[in-house]
Amino acid sequence: MNQEPAFRDAAAKGRFELEIGNDVVYADYRRQPGVLVVSYVYAPPVLRGTGASDRLMAAVAAQARAEDRRILALCGYARAWLRAHKAHRDLLVS
């Protein structure tokens, strides 16, 4: 039985989470005026290589657009992901 991943803004923890089965991939963030600062993206070993972080970042990008914010990616993975996805490059704060 395959569950649909559940994306949520765990604001109390300062992170976006994507729950996949019993595991969670997440992005630590803080909100600043007009900007989401993404400081760290983490995937547990069992989810690495499955595209979980990619799906998380797509949801984070959608969240940033919904809030009319750009993304300051302090995390190397988040920065590389935004640069690699042409549709989302405009969100990246240089």
CA-CA-CA-CA dihedral for 63, 75, 93, 65, to nearest 10 = -10
CATH number for the segment(s) 6-91: 3.40.630.30
3 pLDDT tier (thresholds 50, 70, 90): low
CB atoms within 10 A of CB 54: 15
- Strand-strand pairing, 70-73 and 35-42: parallel
94 pLDDT tier (thresholds 50, 70, 90): confident
> Which residues does 93 contact at the CB level (< 8 Å), separation at least 6?
35, 70, 71, 72, 73
Angstrom distance (rounded) from CA 88 to CA 41: 17
Write out pLDDT tens, residues 11-33: 999 999 999 999 999 999 999 99
Predicted TM-score (pTM) of this structure: 0.93
Domain ranges of the chain: 6-91
